[in-house]
A and B are shown apart, each in its own frame.
Chain A
Amino acid sequence: MLHKPLLSSTKFDLTIKRLCYQLIENHNNFSNTVIIGLQPRGTFLANRIKEELSKILPKTNIDCGNLDITFFRDDFRRRESPLVPNTTNINFIIEGKKVILIDDVLFTGRTIRAGMDAMLAYGRPKKVELLVLVDRRFSREIPIEPDYIGIQVDSIASQNVRVSWKETDGADIVELISGK
């Protein structure tokens, strides 16, 4: 199996900082903006973005939640193994708010489609934006594009993009994995 590094730890940090400054440009002090990380891996990125934003804007309170999309996926009863639900934790109102949906990797777009469906069960946001750390462009199966992108990767379907997190995997790294 071939592991090709796409983001080292240093670049990983810089990328998250850059994404935060891009968010601040569009959302100013986040008074009408909330962040929602998609379970399971998007929540790591959402938490990291929130942490970084809190450092840059120390007096600002930013609402950040986790959203599970299991029951909204379009592949239930089409997979060999059952889907594992995760917890949803959204303790704020999204009605009329600007929502930033966050996931680690954007591939086919189906997860984000399910995420938007799941999110709408909590109200009607004013605007929804999508932030991803890795955009596997040219692999979309439905027309979804991100507003904020960490890195763009050209990959084929048989390859995998793995995002490792300091919190759970010991280091912040993004790798492209090819072969068996």
Chain B
Amino acid sequence: MQQLSTRHLLGIKDLTENDIQLILETADNFKEVINRPIKKVPSLRDVTIANIFFENSTRTKLSFELAQKRLSADIINFAASSSSVSKGETLIDTVNNILAMKVDMIVMRHPYAGAGIFLSKHINAQIVNAGDGAHEHPTQALLDAFSIRQKYGDVAGKKVVIVGDILHSRVALSNILCLQKLGAEVMVCGPTTLMPRYIKDLGVKVEHNLIKALNWCDVANMLRIQLERFDIKYFPSIREYSMMYGLNKQILDSLDKEIIVMHPGPINRGVEITSDVADSKQSIILEQVENGVAVRMAVMYLLASQNPLA
């Protein structure tokens, strides 16, 4: 059988197309598992996983935790805000203390880009990046690709537009890399101020007009405006952003084709998308959440399988 070409999941950048396909195919099996009357398998019953979150998260943390429980792993949870990190302990010391408790795998979210890469050079445990600053959020990209594949049968040849705050978004970068590796065309759309300067170097189309972007695409992935990451004002007001880049039912219905709408959550209803779009049959937001558990099960299962028992 194939196995992943990497020991950690630090970013989509490190994955080959085969790795991504293997994860998506394994996730198909786990999707079936989590829809059984008894949704649990014993595969990781001898694996201990630490979820260390240096930044707030609701759905990613819950999704990982549920995936770990569905795989029968032992888990410990760590939130930086209520830990010795607030007393000045370093990242490596914190993680080494956790590893001394015989932990096999670390799922880490960190506010700084590259935190997972840094850690992987200093510790032996396998690391899954659950989001590092504005850098990568690989499992989100994998579940987005899985959701598109589930809807259309294949990602290759599909046109996907990522709308909104591309500058601060780890979801955008991971999505671009993942979708391109799977053969999709990617466009980014948003205000110039929220567009990274070198975005075109990634081989994506750039569009500032939402209607034009929507008319081009098969899938619209609407990103949240990450006001918490804004150190300066990037647009005059939320209301203006919403008028320029918000997706409402009227716009959706005016398109000459039926596109699907995605959102990594949490949704700011009435800002990126209106409620009638979020709750419409074209929205697959809740399917993304369900698929997230299956994809994260697949990732941790495949990583654990590389680490045989002594």
Which residues on B sit within 8 Å (CB–CB) of A82? 1-3, 302, 305-306
B45-77: contact bitstring with A at CB < 8 Å (1 yes, 0 no)?
Answer: 011000000000000000000000000000000
Q: Are B309 and A77 in contact (CB under 8 A)?
A: yes
Q: Are B305 and A68 in contact (CB under 8 A)?
A: no
Say if the beta carbon of A122 comes within 8 Å of chain B: yes
Q: Which of B26, B38, B308 contacts A77 (CB 8 A)?
A: B308
**CB-nearest residue of chain B to A90:** B36
Q: Are A71 and B42 in contact (CB under 8 A)?
A: yes
Which residues on B sit within 8 Å (CB–CB) of A2? none
Tell me the minimal C-beta distance from B29 to chain A in angstroms.
Answer: 4
B11-48: contact bitstring with A at CB < 8 Å (1 yes, 0 no)?
Answer: 00000000000000010110011001111111110110
Known contacts A72-B42, A77-B309, A82-B3: A87-B32 contact under CB 8 Å: yes
Q: State the CA gap A71–B27 with chains docked (Å).
A: 12
Tell me the minimal C-beta distance from A49 to chain B in angstroms.
Answer: 24
Q: Are B38 and A71 in contact (CB under 8 A)?
A: no
Say if the beta carbon of B307 comes within 8 Å of chain A: yes
Known contacts A71-B43, A117-B42: A81-B1 contact under CB 8 Å: yes
Q: Are A79 and B36 in contact (CB under 8 A)?
A: no
**CB-nearest residue of chain A to B38:** A121
Q: State the CA gap A84–B42 with chains docked (Å).
A: 16
Q: State the CA gap A122–B35 with chains docked (Å).
A: 10
Number of A-B pairs whose CB atoms are under 8 Å?
A: 58
Which residues on A sit within 8 Å (CB–CB) of B301? 71
Say if the beta carbon of A43 comes within 8 Å of chain B: no
Interface residue tally for chain A (C-beta within 8 Å): 22
Say if the beta carbon of A120 comes within 8 Å of chain B: yes
Q: Are B29 and A85 in contact (CB under 8 A)?
A: yes
Q: Are B46 and A77 in contact (CB under 8 A)?
A: yes
Q: State the CA gap A29–B44 with chains docked (Å).
A: 41
Q: State the CA gap A82–B26 with chains docked (Å).
A: 12
Which residues on A sit within 8 Å (CB–CB) of B262? none
Tell me the minimal C-beta distance from B205 to chain A in angstroms.
Answer: 37
Q: State the CA gap A110–B39 with chains docked (Å).
A: 22
29 CB-based A-B contacts, threshold 8 Å:
A71-B33, A71-B41, A71-B43, A71-B301, A72-B41, A72-B42, A76-B43, A76-B305, A77-B46, A77-B308, A78-B309, A79-B308, A80-B308, A81-B1, A82-B1, A82-B2, A82-B302, A82-B305, A82-B306, A83-B1, A84-B1, A85-B29, A86-B29, A87-B32, A120-B38, A121-B33, A121-B37, A122-B37, A122-B38
Residues of B within 8 A of A (CB): 1-3, 26, 28-29, 32-33, 36-44, 46-47, 301-302, 304-309
Residues of A within 8 A of B (CB): 68, 70-72, 76-88, 117, 120-123
Nearest 8 CB-CB pairs, A to B?
A71-B41, A121-B38, A82-B305, A85-B29, A84-B1, A121-B36, A71-B43, A77-B309
